[in-house]
Amino acid sequence: MKIGIVGAGAAGLAALRHALQQNYSECVVFEQTDTIGGTWNYTDLTGIDKYGLPIRSSMYQGLITNLPKELMEYEDFPYEEIDRSFIGFEEVLKYMHSFANNFNLYPHIRFGRQVMQIKPLSNDKWSLKEVNLETKIITEHIFDAIMICIGNYSVPKLPDITGMDSVREISIHSHYYRKPDAYKGKRVLVIGAGPSGTDIAKHVGKIAEKVYISYGNNIFFRTPEYVTHKPLVKEFQKNKVLFVDDSDLEVDNIIYCTGYQYCYPFLSDDCGITVENNWVKYLYKHVVNIEHPTMAFIGITFKVCPFPTFDIQVRFFLEFLKNSNKLTKDDMLMDIFKDVQTKKVPEHLVHKIGVSLHESYFSDLADTLKIRKVRPVIHKLYEYLCENRNLEKRFKILNDEEFVELS
Ligand code: FAD
């Protein structure tokens, strides 16, 4: 069986590793940049790359991981000794290169190749067209199965707030944020208090005159004292911001940390995939395309530990390929609606797992196809962290069940 994989970020590398280990030797990864690692490659550039393609990485200077490295490991491949748990993006990238070397992944990756079109064929195979970005030569490949591993943090999602046009020139989305320098001495409003919003407010606040963070109910990290909290924005008027509590502010800059959207421009309509309200329809267990079950999406889920997720979702899909005839499209659709009904969440949160469902989602994947489970210690540490998020902490995983916090 020939498997085509799109993207050589963390998900694509996991896909390749497991596929090769399960003797799918004819695997090819297409990667549009010249290197592996996706998100973890920092660049000063914010517009287009040397091939004229939009830069996909949203990495910024000074980023420290928001999960400890113990939760950012691939299965059976720990980080080399680092005396901290929360590490810099360069260290994650180095780890990914040593992973790729260790499993001899590079020979299977075609760099500088952008996947332009994926289309199902009548014989249950897939046509994948890619362009060599140097030579501009387009090549069609035929695959038995496809894994889409293009990441979810590249296409910005902006809120819909009255008067946004009037502040366009002083606003950016966090996708384009690289370093705090431009905010020296400025009054900056960060909108959104997820991982990026809280972290960027912290970085910018160190040199800004004043930094504010606006959000609804939840905040990801506790922020330093110099970050002033504000409620949701009601309206923008030129340089003035009105909030829902009727307070207002004058600001010099606005950074939208309002998340990203799923986007698959290369999928032909007959792949049967649509994205509505940020729900990718329809994926069995958030992985398998129910219209064409030889296509998988790896890493769609959010509020999870991404690296362990990639491992198990890939193993699930590879097992599913062996079992696919046992489930009908209706079976899979019923499973999806049951999941959505149980979760009782709006459409844009369907792919959210979160701490309360972390263990059950992973166990469900394992139990459904009788594949190896994710080590319980991963869920335990994740649960602990969600309650005690503090980048100074250090952890050590002792065995499959236990971890300790080091002093
Ligand atoms: P990506 O890393 O985006 O890789 C996708 C790859 O696909 C890219 O190399 C891209 O060039 C390629 N590609 C896209 N389209 C095409 C195409 N058409 N043809 C060919 N190639 C294509 N996770 C953590 O676990 N801990 C953290 O602390 C953490 N911090 C984060 C901080 C930021 C700012 C961001 C944005 C994300 C963070 N994440 C973190 C989540 C992170 O995105 C995941 O951990 C993981 O790296 C995502 O990997 P991926 O392979 O799914 O996507």
Proportion of the chain above pLDDT 90, given as a percent = 94
Which tens digits make up the pLDDT trace of 155-185? 999 999 999 999 999 999 999 999 999 999 9
pLDDT band at residue 348 under the 50/70/90 scheme: very high
What's the one-letter identity of residue 78?
P
Judged against a pLDDT cut of 70, whether residue 293 lies above it is answered with yes
388/36: higher pLDDT = 36
Q: Look at residue 233 and tell me if it is in a domain.
A: yes
Calpha distance 271→290 (Å, rounded): 10
Pair (84, 41) in one structural domain: yes
Interface ipTM > 0.90: yes
Which pLDDT score is estimated for 324? 67
Judged against a pLDDT cut of 90, whether residue 99 lies above it is answered with yes
Pair (292, 252) in one structural domain: no
Q: Is 312 in the pocket of ligand 1 (CB under 6 A)?
A: no
Q: Which residue among 39, 71, 196 has the greatest number of ligand 1 atoms within 8 angstroms of its CB, and so is best to mutate?
A: 39
Which tens digits make up the pLDDT trace of 32-43? 999 999 999 999
Count of domains for the chain:
2
Q: Look at residue 392 and tell me if it is in a domain.
A: no
Q: Is 31 in the pocket of ligand 1 (CB under 6 A)?
A: yes
Cβ contact 316:18 at 8 Å: no
Q: Look at residue 402 and tell me if it is in a domain.
A: no
Q: Look at residue 276 and tell me if it is in a domain.
A: yes
Which pLDDT score is estimated for 222? 86
Q: Is 66 in the pocket of ligand 1 (CB under 6 A)?
A: yes
Closest residue by CA, ligand 1 atom 52: 151
Domain end, chosen from 256, 280, 301, is at: 256
Pair (130, 199) in one structural domain: no
Q: Is 58 in the pocket of ligand 1 (CB under 6 A)?
A: yes
Pair (208, 353) in one structural domain: no
Closest residue by CA, ligand 1 atom 27: 65
Q: Is 9 in the pocket of ligand 1 (CB under 6 A)?
A: yes
Q: Look at residue 230 and tell me if it is in a domain.
A: yes
| Region 360-376 average pLDDT | 97
Residue linked to tokens 């140097």: 134
Looking at the CA of residue 299, tell me the nearest atom of ligand 1: 52
Pair (54, 173) in one structural domain: no
Stated pTM of the model:
0.97
Closest residue by CA, ligand 1 atom 44: 306
Q: What is the CATH number of the domain that holds 282?
A: 3.50.50.60
Pair (149, 180) in one structural domain: no
Range of the structural domain that residue 206 is part of: 164-256
The per-residue pLDDT of the chain, averaged, comes to 96
pLDDT band at residue 239 under the 50/70/90 scheme: confident
Domain end, chosen from 228, 256, 284, is at: 256
Pair (127, 272) in one structural domain: yes
> Is 144 buried (19+), middle (13-18) or exposed (0-12) by CB count in 10 A?
middle
Domain end, chosen from 256, 277, 306, is at: 256
| Region 303-312 average pLDDT | 97
Pair (26, 136) in one structural domain: yes
Closest residue by CA, ligand 1 atom 12: 7
Q: Is 259 in the pocket of ligand 1 (CB under 6 A)?
A: no
Looking at the CA of residue 64, tell me the nearest atom of ligand 1: 28
Q: Look at residue 403 and tell me if it is in a domain.
A: no
Closest residue by CA, ligand 1 atom 46: 10
Q: Look at residue 396 and tell me if it is in a domain.
A: no
Judged against a pLDDT cut of 70, whether residue 144 lies above it is answered with yes
Pair (100, 175) in one structural domain: no
Pair (273, 242) in one structural domain: no
Q: Look at residue 401 and tell me if it is in a domain.
A: no
Residue 168: CB atoms within 10 A of its CB come to: 10
Q: Which residue among 150, 258, 312, 351 has the greatest number of ligand 1 atoms within 8 angstroms of its CB, and so is best to mutate?
A: 150
Dist. CA 218 → ligand 1 center (Å): 24
Pair (278, 357) in one structural domain: yes
Which tens digits make up the pLDDT trace of 215-231? 998 888 889 999 999 99
Pair (6, 138) in one structural domain: yes
